[in-house]
Protein backbone atom coordinates (compact mmCIF):
# COMPACT_ATOMS: atom_id res chain seq x y z
CA UNK A 1 0.00 0.00 0.00
CA UNK A 2 1.12 3.59 -0.59
CA UNK A 3 0.52 6.81 1.33
CA UNK A 4 -2.97 7.40 2.65
CA UNK A 5 -4.21 3.92 1.85
CA UNK A 6 -3.87 4.22 -1.91
CA UNK A 7 -4.34 1.05 -3.83
CA UNK A 8 -1.57 -0.98 -5.43
CA UNK A 9 -1.51 -1.49 -9.19
CA UNK A 10 -3.51 -4.70 -9.13
CA UNK A 11 -7.13 -4.92 -10.15
CA UNK A 12 -8.89 -5.93 -6.96
CA UNK A 13 -11.85 -5.10 -4.79
CA UNK A 14 -12.14 -4.02 -1.18
CA UNK A 15 -13.67 -6.29 1.44
CA UNK A 16 -14.74 -5.33 4.95
CA UNK A 17 -11.71 -4.75 7.11
CA UNK A 18 -9.69 -3.37 4.22
CA UNK A 19 -8.61 -6.71 2.73
CA UNK A 20 -8.52 -6.82 -1.06
CA UNK A 21 -8.90 -9.84 -3.35
CA UNK A 22 -8.34 -10.18 -7.11
CA UNK A 23 -11.36 -9.70 -9.35
CA UNK A 24 -12.27 -12.86 -11.23
CA UNK A 25 -14.67 -13.22 -14.16
CA UNK A 26 -17.30 -14.82 -11.95
CA UNK A 27 -16.98 -12.28 -9.16
CA UNK A 28 -17.24 -9.50 -11.74
CA UNK A 29 -20.42 -10.96 -13.22
CA UNK A 30 -22.01 -11.42 -9.79
CA UNK A 31 -21.04 -7.94 -8.77
CA UNK A 32 -22.43 -6.37 -11.95
CA UNK A 33 -25.80 -7.96 -11.24
CA UNK A 34 -25.74 -6.56 -7.72
CA UNK A 35 -24.70 -3.12 -8.95
CA UNK A 36 -27.46 -3.09 -11.57
CA UNK A 37 -30.01 -3.91 -8.88
CA UNK A 38 -28.73 -1.23 -6.50
CA UNK A 39 -28.07 1.60 -8.96
CA UNK A 40 -31.03 1.88 -11.33
CA UNK A 41 -30.90 5.55 -12.31
CA UNK A 42 -31.28 6.88 -15.83
CA UNK A 43 -29.63 10.22 -15.00
CA UNK A 44 -27.15 11.59 -12.46
CA UNK A 45 -28.53 15.06 -11.79
CA UNK A 46 -27.64 15.48 -8.13
CA UNK A 47 -26.71 13.81 -4.87
CA UNK A 48 -30.21 14.44 -3.51
CA UNK A 49 -31.63 11.65 -5.68
CA UNK A 50 -29.07 9.06 -4.49
CA UNK A 51 -29.54 6.67 -1.60
CA UNK A 52 -26.76 5.56 0.71
CA UNK A 53 -26.56 2.27 -1.24
CA UNK A 54 -26.31 4.19 -4.52
CA UNK A 55 -23.35 6.16 -3.19
CA UNK A 56 -21.52 3.10 -1.86
CA UNK A 57 -22.15 1.17 -5.09
CA UNK A 58 -20.71 3.94 -7.23
CA UNK A 59 -17.71 4.49 -4.95
CA UNK A 60 -16.88 0.77 -4.86
CA UNK A 61 -16.90 0.63 -8.65
CA UNK A 62 -14.83 3.82 -8.83
CA UNK A 63 -12.35 2.20 -6.46
CA UNK A 64 -11.77 -0.53 -9.04
CA UNK A 65 -11.43 1.99 -11.86
CA UNK A 66 -8.84 3.88 -9.81
CA UNK A 67 -6.82 0.66 -9.64
CA UNK A 68 -7.25 0.14 -13.40
CA UNK A 69 -6.07 3.67 -14.11
CA UNK A 70 -2.77 2.95 -12.38
CA UNK A 71 -2.00 0.11 -14.76
CA UNK A 72 -0.21 0.40 -18.10
CA UNK A 73 -3.29 -0.76 -20.02
CA UNK A 74 -6.12 1.53 -18.92
CA UNK A 75 -8.76 0.99 -21.60
CA UNK A 76 -11.96 -1.01 -21.42
CA UNK A 77 -14.65 -1.66 -24.01
CA UNK A 78 -17.51 -1.02 -21.58
CA UNK A 79 -18.98 1.87 -23.62
CA UNK A 80 -17.92 0.64 -27.05
CA UNK A 81 -20.49 1.72 -29.64
CA UNK A 82 -21.94 4.44 -27.40
CA UNK A 83 -21.69 8.19 -28.01
CA UNK A 84 -20.91 10.68 -25.24
CA UNK A 85 -21.34 14.40 -25.81
CA UNK A 86 -19.80 16.88 -23.36
CA UNK A 87 -21.85 20.07 -23.52
CA UNK A 88 -20.32 22.82 -21.36
CA UNK A 89 -22.03 26.21 -21.25
CA UNK A 90 -19.39 27.29 -18.72
CA UNK A 91 -15.66 26.93 -19.15
CA UNK A 92 -14.13 24.10 -17.15
CA UNK A 93 -10.85 22.64 -18.31
CA UNK A 94 -10.50 20.21 -15.40
CA UNK A 95 -14.01 18.73 -15.30
CA UNK A 96 -14.40 18.52 -19.07
CA UNK A 97 -10.99 16.87 -19.47
CA UNK A 98 -11.83 14.42 -16.70
CA UNK A 99 -15.13 13.38 -18.33
CA UNK A 100 -13.47 13.14 -21.74
CA UNK A 101 -10.72 10.91 -20.42
CA UNK A 102 -13.23 8.78 -18.50
CA UNK A 103 -15.36 8.21 -21.59
CA UNK A 104 -12.40 7.39 -23.82
CA UNK A 105 -10.94 4.94 -21.32
CA UNK A 106 -14.28 3.12 -21.37
CA UNK A 107 -14.30 2.99 -25.17
CA UNK A 108 -17.00 5.59 -25.92
CA UNK A 109 -17.01 7.92 -28.91
CA UNK A 110 -16.57 11.28 -27.15
CA UNK A 111 -17.43 14.67 -28.62
CA UNK A 112 -16.83 18.02 -26.93
CA UNK A 113 -19.26 20.75 -27.98
CA UNK A 114 -17.83 24.25 -27.91
CA UNK A 115 -20.65 26.52 -26.79
CA UNK A 116 -18.65 29.62 -27.68
CA UNK A 117 -18.85 28.80 -31.40
CA UNK A 118 -22.22 27.05 -31.41
CA UNK A 119 -25.75 28.05 -32.34
CA UNK A 120 -26.43 28.76 -28.67
CA UNK A 121 -24.40 31.95 -29.03
CA UNK A 122 -26.56 32.84 -32.04
CA UNK A 123 -29.79 32.84 -30.04
CA UNK A 124 -30.80 29.17 -29.95
CA UNK A 125 -32.72 28.27 -26.79
CA UNK A 126 -31.81 25.42 -24.45
CA UNK A 127 -34.90 23.50 -25.61
CA UNK A 128 -33.88 23.91 -29.26
CA UNK A 129 -30.40 22.70 -28.38
CA UNK A 130 -31.86 19.66 -26.62
CA UNK A 131 -33.98 18.81 -29.66
CA UNK A 132 -30.99 19.17 -31.99
CA UNK A 133 -28.77 16.98 -29.84
CA UNK A 134 -31.53 14.42 -29.38
CA UNK A 135 -31.81 14.05 -33.16
CA UNK A 136 -28.15 13.02 -33.23
CA UNK A 137 -28.96 10.00 -31.03
CA UNK A 138 -26.32 10.39 -28.33
CA UNK A 139 -26.30 7.89 -25.49
CA UNK A 140 -24.93 10.08 -22.70
CA UNK A 141 -24.89 13.86 -22.34
CA UNK A 142 -22.56 15.49 -19.83
CA UNK A 143 -23.82 19.01 -19.24
CA UNK A 144 -22.54 22.04 -17.32
CA UNK A 145 -24.71 25.16 -17.22
CA UNK A 146 -24.54 28.49 -15.43
CA UNK A 147 -28.19 28.36 -14.31
CA UNK A 148 -29.53 26.11 -11.55
CA UNK A 149 -32.05 23.59 -12.86
CA UNK A 150 -31.04 23.90 -16.51
CA UNK A 151 -29.50 20.42 -16.65
CA UNK A 152 -32.63 18.83 -15.15
CA UNK A 153 -34.77 20.65 -17.72
CA UNK A 154 -32.59 19.42 -20.56
CA UNK A 155 -32.80 15.84 -19.24
CA UNK A 156 -36.58 15.97 -19.70
CA UNK A 157 -36.20 16.84 -23.39
CA UNK A 158 -33.73 14.21 -24.55
CA UNK A 159 -33.94 10.44 -24.86
CA UNK A 160 -30.56 9.61 -23.36
CA UNK A 161 -28.80 9.62 -20.00
CA UNK A 162 -27.70 12.99 -18.64
CA UNK A 163 -24.96 13.73 -16.11
CA UNK A 164 -24.93 17.06 -14.31
CA UNK A 165 -21.39 18.45 -14.45
CA UNK A 166 -22.47 21.47 -12.42
CA UNK A 167 -25.52 23.75 -12.69
CA UNK A 168 -25.34 27.23 -11.23
CA UNK A 169 -25.08 27.17 -7.44
CA UNK A 170 -27.25 24.04 -7.28
CA UNK A 171 -25.24 20.80 -7.49
CA UNK A 172 -22.05 19.20 -8.76
CA UNK A 173 -22.61 15.51 -7.96
CA UNK A 174 -19.44 13.95 -9.40
CA UNK A 175 -17.27 16.41 -7.47
CA UNK A 176 -18.92 15.37 -4.19
CA UNK A 177 -18.50 11.71 -5.11
CA UNK A 178 -14.81 12.06 -5.94
CA UNK A 179 -14.32 13.98 -2.69
CA UNK A 180 -16.07 11.14 -0.84
CA UNK A 181 -13.85 8.52 -2.48
CA UNK A 182 -10.73 10.50 -1.57
CA UNK A 183 -11.88 10.81 2.05
CA UNK A 184 -12.66 7.09 2.24
CA UNK A 185 -9.25 6.21 0.82
CA UNK A 186 -7.47 8.17 3.53
CA UNK A 187 -9.74 7.68 6.52
CA UNK A 188 -10.78 4.08 5.83
CA UNK A 189 -14.45 5.01 6.20
CA UNK A 190 -17.02 7.56 5.09
CA UNK A 191 -19.08 7.92 8.27
CA UNK A 192 -18.74 9.48 11.72
CA UNK A 193 -16.14 11.99 10.57
CA UNK A 194 -16.06 15.71 11.28
CA UNK A 195 -15.72 17.63 8.04
CA UNK A 196 -15.27 21.40 7.78
CA UNK A 197 -16.20 23.11 4.51
CA UNK A 198 -14.61 26.55 4.45
CA UNK A 199 -14.95 29.63 2.28
CA UNK A 200 -17.46 30.77 -0.32
CA UNK A 201 -20.40 28.53 0.62
CA UNK A 202 -22.95 30.93 -0.83
CA UNK A 203 -21.94 30.52 -4.46
CA UNK A 204 -20.70 26.91 -4.29
CA UNK A 205 -22.52 23.97 -5.85
CA UNK A 206 -19.62 21.83 -4.61
CA UNK A 207 -20.45 22.76 -1.02
CA UNK A 208 -24.12 21.92 -1.44
CA UNK A 209 -23.49 18.50 -3.01
CA UNK A 210 -20.89 17.66 -0.38
CA UNK A 211 -23.18 18.68 2.48
CA UNK A 212 -25.95 16.44 1.14
CA UNK A 213 -23.62 13.47 0.61
CA UNK A 214 -21.78 13.78 3.92
CA UNK A 215 -25.04 14.05 5.85
CA UNK A 216 -26.41 11.06 3.97
CA UNK A 217 -23.37 9.08 5.12
CA UNK A 218 -23.84 10.19 8.78
CA UNK A 219 -20.98 12.63 9.20
CA UNK A 220 -20.76 15.81 11.24
CA UNK A 221 -20.57 18.73 8.82
CA UNK A 222 -19.40 22.24 9.66
CA UNK A 223 -19.36 25.29 7.41
CA UNK A 224 -16.94 28.14 8.12
CA UNK A 225 -17.33 31.46 6.33
CA UNK A 226 -18.07 35.14 6.82
CA UNK A 227 -21.83 35.79 7.14
CA UNK A 228 -21.90 37.39 3.67
CA UNK A 229 -20.68 34.14 2.06
CA UNK A 230 -23.31 31.90 3.65
CA UNK A 231 -26.63 31.25 1.87
CA UNK A 232 -29.89 31.95 3.64
CA UNK A 233 -31.22 28.93 5.53
CA UNK A 234 -27.88 27.10 5.63
CA UNK A 235 -28.73 25.94 9.17
CA UNK A 236 -31.60 23.91 7.71
CA UNK A 237 -29.16 21.74 5.75
CA UNK A 238 -27.98 19.90 8.87
CA UNK A 239 -24.70 21.73 9.36
CA UNK A 240 -23.00 23.61 12.18
CA UNK A 241 -22.20 27.21 11.27
CA UNK A 242 -18.98 28.96 12.31
CA UNK A 243 -17.48 32.31 11.41
CA UNK A 244 -14.12 31.74 13.08
CA UNK A 245 -11.61 29.32 11.53
CA UNK A 246 -9.94 28.33 14.81
CA UNK A 247 -13.26 27.43 16.41
CA UNK A 248 -14.67 25.69 13.34
CA UNK A 249 -11.56 23.63 12.58
CA UNK A 250 -11.14 22.39 16.14
CA UNK A 251 -11.03 18.57 16.08
CA UNK A 252 -11.83 18.19 12.37
CA UNK A 253 -10.86 15.09 10.37
CA UNK A 254 -11.21 16.77 6.98
CA UNK A 255 -10.66 20.40 5.96
CA UNK A 256 -12.28 21.23 2.62
CA UNK A 257 -11.41 24.64 1.22
CA UNK A 258 -13.49 26.33 -1.49
CA UNK A 259 -12.55 28.77 -4.22
CA UNK A 260 -13.61 32.36 -3.76
CA UNK A 261 -15.95 32.70 -6.77
CA UNK A 262 -15.60 36.38 -7.51
CA UNK A 263 -17.08 35.94 -11.02
CA UNK A 264 -20.44 35.04 -9.40
CA UNK A 265 -20.43 37.93 -6.94
CA UNK A 266 -22.59 40.94 -7.66
CA UNK A 267 -21.68 43.33 -4.90
CA UNK A 268 -19.17 43.56 -2.07
CA UNK A 269 -19.22 40.20 -0.26
CA UNK A 270 -15.76 40.64 1.29
CA UNK A 271 -13.94 43.83 2.36
CA UNK A 272 -10.74 42.84 0.54
CA UNK A 273 -8.90 39.73 -0.64
CA UNK A 274 -6.12 40.49 1.82
CA UNK A 275 -8.48 40.59 4.79
CA UNK A 276 -10.31 37.50 3.56
CA UNK A 277 -7.07 35.54 3.48
CA UNK A 278 -6.06 36.80 6.92
CA UNK A 279 -9.34 35.63 8.50
CA UNK A 280 -10.43 32.64 6.40
CA UNK A 281 -7.46 31.53 4.30
CA UNK A 282 -5.94 28.21 5.39
CA UNK A 283 -2.39 28.43 6.68
CA UNK A 284 -0.29 26.35 9.08
CA UNK A 285 -1.49 28.28 12.10
CA UNK A 286 -5.18 27.69 11.39
CA UNK A 287 -4.66 24.08 10.28
CA UNK A 288 -3.07 23.32 13.66
CA UNK A 289 -6.55 23.49 15.26
CA UNK A 290 -7.68 20.43 13.24
CA UNK A 291 -6.66 16.90 14.16
CA UNK A 292 -2.97 16.07 13.54
CA UNK A 293 -3.96 13.61 10.79
CA UNK A 294 -6.58 15.85 9.19
CA UNK A 295 -6.47 15.94 5.40
CA UNK A 296 -6.73 19.11 3.31
CA UNK A 297 -8.93 19.22 0.19
CA UNK A 298 -9.76 21.74 -2.52
CA UNK A 299 -11.96 21.19 -5.61
CA UNK A 300 -9.78 23.50 -7.70
CA UNK A 301 -8.74 25.63 -9.31
CA UNK A 302 -6.93 27.06 -6.30
CA UNK A 303 -6.23 30.71 -5.63
CA UNK A 304 -2.99 30.41 -3.69
CA UNK A 305 -2.63 33.15 -1.14
CA UNK A 306 -6.40 33.69 -1.12
CA UNK A 307 -8.01 30.45 0.12
CA UNK A 308 -4.88 28.51 1.00
CA UNK A 309 -1.14 29.00 1.35
CA UNK A 310 1.23 27.29 -1.07
CA UNK A 311 3.00 25.34 1.67
CA UNK A 312 -0.27 23.81 2.93
CA UNK A 313 -1.53 23.04 -0.60
CA UNK A 314 1.73 21.29 -1.44
CA UNK A 315 2.15 19.46 1.86
CA UNK A 316 2.55 15.80 0.86
CA UNK A 317 1.55 14.60 4.34
CA UNK A 318 -1.72 16.55 4.57
CA UNK A 319 -2.88 17.72 1.15
CA UNK A 320 -4.85 15.27 -1.03
CA UNK A 321 -5.68 17.78 -3.76
CA UNK A 322 -3.84 15.92 -6.52
CA UNK A 323 -5.52 12.67 -5.51
CA UNK A 324 -8.91 14.38 -5.84
CA UNK A 325 -8.09 14.99 -9.51
CA UNK A 326 -7.09 11.34 -9.94
CA UNK A 327 -10.25 10.08 -8.22
CA UNK A 328 -12.29 12.36 -10.47
CA UNK A 329 -11.51 10.25 -13.53
CA UNK A 330 -12.32 7.02 -11.67
CA UNK A 331 -15.63 8.35 -10.28
CA UNK A 332 -16.70 9.61 -13.70
CA UNK A 333 -15.83 6.25 -15.26
CA UNK A 334 -18.03 4.57 -12.65
CA UNK A 335 -20.90 7.01 -13.27
CA UNK A 336 -20.72 6.53 -17.04
CA UNK A 337 -20.56 2.75 -16.64
CA UNK A 338 -23.56 2.53 -14.29
CA UNK A 339 -25.75 4.86 -16.34
CA UNK A 340 -24.86 3.09 -19.59
CA UNK A 341 -26.24 -0.16 -18.18
CA UNK A 342 -29.69 1.46 -18.05
CA UNK A 343 -29.66 2.38 -21.76
CA UNK A 344 -31.95 0.10 -23.78
CA UNK A 345 -30.80 -1.16 -27.18
CA UNK A 346 -33.84 0.36 -28.90
CA UNK A 347 -34.91 3.82 -27.79
CA UNK A 348 -37.90 5.72 -29.10
CA UNK A 349 -38.30 9.46 -29.40
CA UNK A 350 -38.17 11.71 -26.38
CA UNK A 351 -41.45 13.13 -25.25
For residue 332, give the nearest of 94, 138, 103 by alpha carbon: 103
Cα torsion through 265, 183, 301, 52, rounded to 10: -50
> How far, in Å, CA of 99 to CA of 141, rounded?
11
309 is catalytic: no
172 is catalytic: yes
> What are the distances in angstroms from CA 69 to CA 8, 9, 93, 95?
11, 8, 20, 17
Burial of 118 per CB tally in 10 Å (0-12, 13-18, 19+): middle
Q: Evaluate the CA torsion angle 330, 335, 341, 344 in order and state its sign.
A: negative
State the catalytic residue, choosing from 19, 26, 72, 122: 122
157 is catalytic: no
State the catalytic residue, choosing from 94, 137, 192, 262: 94
144 is catalytic: yes
94 is catalytic: yes
For residue 48, give the nearest of 181, 191, 194, 211 by alpha carbon: 211
State the catalytic residue, choosing from 172, 205, 222, 298: 172
State the catalytic residue, choosing from 7, 13, 144, 318: 144
State the catalytic residue, choosing from 57, 95, 174, 309: 95
**340 contact partners, CB below 8 Å, separation of at least 6:** 78, 79, 82, 106, 139, 140, 161
> How far, in Å, CA of 341 to CA of 336, rounded?
9
Enumerate the active-site residues. 94-95, 122, 144, 172
Amino acid sequence: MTRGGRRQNTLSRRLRGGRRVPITARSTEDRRRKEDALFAHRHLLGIESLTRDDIVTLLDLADDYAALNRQREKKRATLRGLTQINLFFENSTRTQASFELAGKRLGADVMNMSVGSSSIKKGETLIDTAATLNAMRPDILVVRHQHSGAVALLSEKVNCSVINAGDGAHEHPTQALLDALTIRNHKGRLHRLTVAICGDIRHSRVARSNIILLNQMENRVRVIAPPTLLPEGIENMGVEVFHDMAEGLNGCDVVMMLRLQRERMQGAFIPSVREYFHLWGLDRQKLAFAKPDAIVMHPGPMNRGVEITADVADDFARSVIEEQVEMGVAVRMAALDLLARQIPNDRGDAE
